[in-house]
Amino acid sequence: MMRRFSLLFIAAYTACVAIAGGVGVPASRADASLPQVRDITFPVTEHVDYSDTYGACRDGCTRFHEGQDLIGSRLSHMVATRDATVTYLRTDAAGTAGNWIKIKDSDGWTYSYMHVNNDTPGTDDGLNPPKYRFPAGIEVGATVKRGDFIAYLGDSGNAESSVPHLHFEIRDPNGEPINAFASLQLAQGIPVAGLCAANSAPTPDPQAGTIAGYLTVSDDGTVTAHGTARHFGDRNASGVSSPVVGIAATPTGAGYWIATSDGTVYRFGDATTEGAIKSTQFQANVVAIAATKVGKGFWLATDDGAVYAFGAAQSYGSATNHQLTSPIVDMVATGNGYALVSERGDVYKFGSAQNFGDTSRLNLNSPIIAIAMTSTGDGYWLLNERGVPRAFGDAAEVGTIPMLGLCEPKVAADMVVSNSGDGYAIMQRNGAIVEFGNAKSLGAATGQHVVDVAQTS
């Protein structure tokens, strides 16, 4: 005869839901309000009820809930959430967890299923029949695929006094639990905490020192320094002649220029006034500024492909004699040259610059906004507005903003690159910055409308 639901359990369960709150352990990303999630298949095929009980009190708060309780019907089918290997199996129905199976995926994350069934069908007899615990072939060392049937839901262990349910846990490769609630919600297609999908980007491994410093500039002329970069002033109090479009650091790192769309250039620190900028007649809007690698000087690029050289900067040509299919949006300096990139992703090289490829033949769903060189100069990334960097040459693709699964991703502004080229951090227009690969960001520019970033050495 089946037991009635324990009123004590239901009361405790309700209280724990009220205590739990929150949505989980923050992921390693700029927005700490986002929960850490895994891309999983929902672990039960039949209907279950659950609320976020992660962190709720257990045993008078002597311990805290490290999983989620999915309340369902006895003998419901539980399935593998990921392609994985069975690493633990308990079959004696004893202990707090009772019958229990644990699987580990190729990334080293583990997924535990506790309170596996120990009853004969139609009863709550606790006789623990083997055929109604785990299906044939489920044993330690067995491999399973997403969606494979691996166990029956039940009430073994300390769930005997409550209701049939799955206690489901997710733990990282270090054995630390994360809140599985967001992962479960997303597996059911339910947005949670600003996420509409699980994070599918490669797991970042940010390392100190991979990025030395960088400067951000907003459209009103506000400059923010990060890491070893130094702040020498900005224009947010004095105002700018037209919206700021770019910033370029001097080779010494002791100054910088900021440029506006009408060609006005403001200098700070050891940046000098180079050439007759005020007398220059720009035929189109300035879109980018780049400093020479040695000596004093810089280039300004306009959206029609023209390049203007000032000071020690040498003119290597422009794209005005090309039939542009879209406006120029950015430029990057090389040792003795520079490259321009268009909104469609055409790359135009001049001087020592090399063309390693472009996105002109791709059906882009977002315009290119920036180009960033690798530290070797043998490759580059073309970054689009959605925060997707396309890699060419020795550049590596190690993640994108869309991979984070955000319901409303922010527009990208620029990117900074790790010294090894094995990572980058994408700066967004809202000032948030997101790490990928081994890049370790040095801070955000919160509250600003960022338009450009200048990396310093």
Q: What is the pLDDT of residues 410-438, one digit of tens each?
A: 999 999 999 988 999 999 999 999 999 99
CA–CA separation, 350 and 336 (whole Å): 9
Per-residue pLDDT, 275: 58
Top-confidence residue, 29 or 162: 162
Mean pLDDT taken over the chain: 90
* Cα 167 off chain centre by: 29
- According to CATH, what is the number of the domain 7-187? 2.70.70.10
Domain boundaries for CATH 2.130.10.10 within the chain: 213-456
Q: What is the pLDDT of residues 252-308, one digit of tens each?
A: 999 999 999 999 999 999 998 765 577 788 999 999 999 998 878 999 999 999 999
Q: How far apart are the first and last CA of the chain?
A: 74
Query: pLDDT tens for residues 25-82?
Result: 333 344 556 788 999 999 999 999 999 988 877 777 777 788 999 999 999 999 999 9
Residue 170 has pLDDT above 60, yes or no: yes
Total-model pTM: 0.81
Q: Name the CATH superfamily housing domain 213-456.
A: YVTN repeat-like/Quinoprotein amine dehydrogenase (2.130.10.10)
164 class by beta-carbon count within 10 Å (0-12 exposed, 13-18 middle, 19+ buried): buried
Quick one: tokens of 279? 């007398």
Which H or E run contains 11? Answer: helix 7-20
Once rounded to an integer, what is the mean pLDDT over residues 174-190? 95
Tokens of 228: 């070893």
Mean pLDDT of 331-349: 96
The span from the CA of 76 to the CA of 73, in Å, is 6
Residue 2 is predicted with a pLDDT of 32
* Residue whose entry in the numeric block shows the structure tokens 């007398």: 279
Backbone phi, then psi, for 82, in 5-degree steps?
-145, 165
In angstroms, the CA 177 to CA 360 distance is 45
pLDDT confidence of residue 30: 40
Mean pLDDT of 11-20: 34
Q: Pinpoint the residues of the chain covered by CATH 2.70.70.10.
A: 7-187
Q: How far apart are CA 276 and CA 284, in angstroms?
A: 17
Q: In the predicted model, what is the mean pLDDT of residues 85-96?
A: 97
Q: Which residue has the tokens 């909104």?
A: 343
The yes-or-no verdict on residue 193 having pLDDT over 80 is: yes
As a whole number, mean pLDDT of residues 201-226 equals: 95
The Cα 53–Cα 374 span in angstroms is: 46
pLDDT reading at 155 higher than 80: yes
Take residue 233 and report the two structure tokens written for it: 């002033």
Mean pLDDT of 227-238: 95
| pLDDT at residue number 330 | 98
pLDDT digits (tens, 9 = 90+) for 344-392: 999 999 999 999 999 998 888 899 999 999 989 999 999 999 999 999 9
Q: C-alpha angle 347/353/357, rounded to 5°? A: 35
Sign, Cα dihedral of 415, 417, 418, 420: positive
